[in-house]
Structures are given as structure tokens and as C-alpha cells.
Amino acid sequence: MLLREVAYCRPVDVEDALAVLREHPGARPLAGGQTLVNVLKLRAASVDALVDISGLEELRLIRRSPDGGLEIGACVTYDELEHSEEVGEAVPILAEVASHTVDQQVRNRGTIGGNCCYADPASNYPPLMTALGTTMRVATPAGEREVAAEEFVLGFSRTAVGTGELLRSVVVPPLDGSGVGYQSLLIGRDSWALARAVAVLRAEPTIVEARVVLGCVADAPLRQPAVEQRLRGRDPSPETLAEASRASCEGIEPISDVHASGGYRRRMSRVVVRRALEQAIEEAE
């Protein structure tokens, strides 16, 4: 299906973009367009105007924070993430996930901000942002606000970015010796996932910090406090990790659809949690 005619504008900076969005409440930011254009073509949504933010320099920066973490502009593409030296040095998992996202055409255009703002339950980045303890910087007409990644996704394709606002950047804290495990069960190679788990663990040598997040099983990424509790203060043995993974999915009813039943998703989620824990411990310094 062809795209219906729609007004298109290219603001000169973030202030200008916010002004256009304020004047036209039916307008939407356009980043890489890899989701939005398809959604519009399929008539699953309509907009009055597209505000193309993809060229705004302020949204394309990648810089090391003074604490050794990273600030990444919302319009940094997957390809730029994959090849950034700063990202590779500070938080390499961000580059690795980018390198596995779909195909090169999508990686050339799709952005980290668009991925977080579209917030499909199977999107690659929202659970990773939550597990890493990321702060999302939102530009608003009244200034800027910071939202913890854990509170950023409010539901299916709903985020803390309100009408007339923009995600400006994501601020990822330093890993400080933590290991990251990122595991997905994919429908097909380079495709959407049925189950996903991200674990960030620090061990000295007992586990002192644990953040474990599930994706794909609910409208938003879910922290797994029961798993984290079973890890803190424990020796990171295979038995500890396996036992903790069995506590995931408590109180969750994953959806059933054409790809898998809810029961299968639940069982596979526990498997990917265990694998993510094993990977995180292997990578922890």
C-alpha cells in the first residue's frame, strides 16, 4: 500500500521541532521511519504531519560521560552504534545488539530513540535500557525532564514521552565491572523474538548487584525482583543461576498468538533468563 499524502517538515533544531509539534498536535516525530512509515502505509495509524528529526545534529551525538558511561542521542542509528569506538569501549552490548538487529537496510536508518519510543513488547532496546539502569532525557516545551528507563515504557507503544515532546538522548551508566547477558529466542534468524532476557551482574566474587529484566512477555519490560533477590549475596555457581532463573515470570501471563502459546513463552523465558545469567557471570570482571 502507498503512503497517503502527509505534510512533511524538517526542523532546524530541537527547539524548532518542539515548536512544530506544539502547533500541530496531530504531528509525529519521524526518526528512521522503519516502523512509522510502515504503520502509516498499513493505515494502522494516521498523522497530520511528519516532523523529520533524523538530521538534527544534537540528536546524533555519542559521547562519554565524565563517570565513564555514555550519552547517546536519540537519532543515532543502529549502524552508528555498531561501529562507534566509544560504545564499543564503554558498553559494548549496545553495539552488539545493534549489529544483530534485522538487516543492514534497517540498521542504516533505524534509531535507538525510535526503537525505545515505538516500544513494541519485542523491541530490542527497552529491556536492555532498563537492565543497564539508563536515564532517558526527554525534551519538552518547558525544558527537560529525566525518566528512568524502568518507568519509560507505559504499555504497548506508549511511553513517558508525551504529545509535543521528544526523546533527546539516553544516558547509560558505566558498567564498573558488571557483566551483561542478553539472550533472545527468535522466531527466525534476524527476526522478532518470542522471549528475551537481559541480566546485568556484578560479582566480587559473591554476587553484589543483579538487575534482571524480561522482554516480550508483557506490554512493557519487566524487572524480575524474585530472581534478583535469589542472586544477591550468593556464590555465582551454575546451581544458583539455575535456581534463580526458575523464579522468573512470577505473576506474568504471556500472550498467546500465532507464533507461540503463553505457556511456551513462559517456559522459554525461564530458559533465556538462565542463559542470560550464565553469560553475564562469564563476562563480569
Ligand X SMILES: Cc1cc2nc3c(=O)[nH]c(=O)nc-3n(C[C@H](O)[C@H](O)[C@H](O)COP(=O)(O)OP(=O)(O)OC[C@H]3O[C@@H](n4cnc5c(N)ncnc54)[C@H](O)[C@@H]3O)c2cc1C
Q: For ligand X, which stretch binds (CB under 6 A), given 109-117, 215-223, 250-258, 272-280?
A: 109-117
Q: Which is nearer to ligand X, 120 or 209 (CB)?
A: 120
Q: Which is nearer to ligand X, 53 or 277 (CB)?
A: 53
Q: Strand 179-186 vs strand 135-140: parallel, antiparallel, or unpaired?
A: unpaired
The answer to whether 269 touches 262, Cβ cutoff 8 Å, is no
Q: According to the binding rule CB under 6 A, does residue 11 interact with ligand X?
A: no
Q: Figure out which of the listed residues 173, 192, 226, 267 binds ligand X, where binding follows CB under 6 A.
A: 192
Q: Which of residues 251-280 bind ligand X (CB under 6 A)?
A: none
CB burial of 162-195 (b: ≥16 within 10 Å; e: otherwise) equals eebbbbbbbbbbebeebbbbbbbbeeeeeebbbb
Q: What's the grid cell of residue 267?
A: 517456559
| Minimum distance from residue 239 beta carbon to ligand X (Å) | 33
Q: Which is nearer to ligand X, 41 or 232 (CB)?
A: 41
For residues 28 and 7, give the distance between their C-alpha atoms in angstroms, rounded to a whole number: 11
Q: Which is nearer to ligand X, 11 or 113 (CB)?
A: 113
Q: Figure out which of the listed residues 11, 80, 118, 249 binds ligand X, where binding follows CB under 6 A.
A: 118
Q: For ligand X, which stretch binds (CB under 6 A), given 2-10, 63-71, 111-119, 241-249?
A: 111-119
For residues 26 and 46, give the distance between their C-alpha atoms in angstroms, rounded to a whole number: 9
Nearest one of 132, 198, 212, 211 to 170, comparing CA atoms:
132
Q: According to the binding rule CB under 6 A, does residue 169 interact with ligand X?
A: no
Q: According to the binding rule CB under 6 A, does residue 110 interact with ligand X?
A: yes
Stretch 31-60: interaction string toward ligand X, x if CB under 6 A: xxxxxx----------------x-------
Residue 146 CB-density burial (10 A; 0-12 exposed, 13-18 middle, 19+ buried)? exposed
Distances (CA, A) of 63 to 12, 97, 254, 273: 22, 19, 37, 31
The answer to whether 69 touches 52, Cβ cutoff 8 Å, is no
Which positions lie near ligand X, rule CB under 6 A? 28-36, 53, 74, 101-102, 106, 109-111, 113-115, 117-118, 123-124, 161, 166-167, 191-192
